[in-house]
Amino acid sequence: MSQQRRGYGWFLYPGFIVLVVFFGTMFVWNIGISFLKWPGYGPAKWIGFDNYVHLFDKPEFWESWTHALFYVVPFALLPTVVGLALASIVYEAFRGTISRALVPFARAGFFLPQIVPISVAGLIWLWMLDSMSVTWLTEPLPALLVLSVFMFWLQMGFAFVVYLAGFSRLEPALLEAASLDGAGWWHRLRYISGPAVWPETSVILVFLGVGALKVFAPVYYLTGGGPYDSTISPATYAVTSFFGGRSVGFASAVSTVLALVILIAVVTVLTVSTRLRRSNR
């Protein structure tokens, strides 16, 4: 079994090498630029940690991180919880012939926002919002709420499909026995199906959690970070600093801090997930 697992590595090595060579090189280059004062053209000036000192004095930087932490809820936590519940309901409905025929339509319907380009989805949402009498995107709080719903709509289908695939590993007889013993849907989900898909939960939380911290496209296409910077994220703040302020070094400092925070978050989630899996064995 160990030799078989080691054989899988040959399929991973090419992608890993590309990741290290290209993305690793770009990340190191980005760190180097963060120590420069450079508008993107002409000569650059070495200023050391001045960009980072200036960065932490910016209220917009802290505001963007406040929004990023808030976006974890609609972008990662809520899609995970709702996706798990819906996948459990659909999976247990597989027993009926009619339900089996409807499952592909449910899977495609929930996953459709993942397939549609975010630019197109954002344009459709803007059209819908413009047709309403309430101006949702002109005030900070309504804009933040609409953006949260938009993020949840985008990501819930991903969690749903991953959980639905994870439930296929379950033994149906186990759920049937629990049902005959009087266990309701919630108890079956809590004690049987939920713990069985813990690996999928770890993957979803890491994938969507990282996406929430570095979110750019939903914010850019729906609100542009406004109104009054009430929806900006660290990624949109970096892009605005790069193009709007012509401060490549400062924008690189924002991106470097963002990458380090994401790395810490991923290591933390994976460590906690590994310990929980070992404790449940």
Give CA–CA dist 98/128, Å, rounded: 34
* Of the listed ranges 73-77, 118-122, 135-139, the one predicted with least confidence: 135-139
Residue 46 lies in a domain: no
- Residue 31 in any domain: the answer is no
DSSP label of 139: S
pLDDT for 171 equals 78
Q: Which position has the token pair 């899988």?
A: 8
**Full residue range of the structural domain in which residue 252 is found:** 58-279
The two tokens of residue 45 are: 């000036």
**pLDDT value at 151 more than 90:** yes
> DSSP string covering 190-204, please?
IIIIHHHTHHHHHHH
What's the pLDDT score for residue 1?
45
Question: Where would I find the H helices in the chain?
Answer: 2-18, 25-33, 50-56, 59-72, 78-92, 97-115, 118-130, 140-167, 172-180, 185-188, 194-196, 198-213, 217-222, 234-243, 248-279
Note the pTM of the prediction, 2 decimals.
0.82
b/e per residue, 240-255, with b = 16+ CB within 10 A?
bbbeeeebbbbbbbbb
Average pLDDT over residues 141-163: 91
Instruction: Please give the pLDDT value at position 102.
Output: 66
Q: Is residue 45 part of a domain?
A: no
How confident is the model at residue 74, as a pLDDT? 93
Residue with tokens 């979110």: 215
pLDDT at 8 over 70: no
Q: DSSP character for 115? A: H
Separation of alpha carbons 277 and 121, rounded Å:
37
pLDDT at 15: 79
Q: What is the CATH number of the domain that holds 237?
A: 1.10.3720.10
Residue 240 lies in a domain: yes
DSSP 37: E
Instruction: State how many domains the chain has.
Output: 1
Contact 136, 146 (CB under 8 A): yes
Within 8 A by CB and 6+ apart from 60, the residues are 229, 232, 237
Does some domain include residue 128? yes
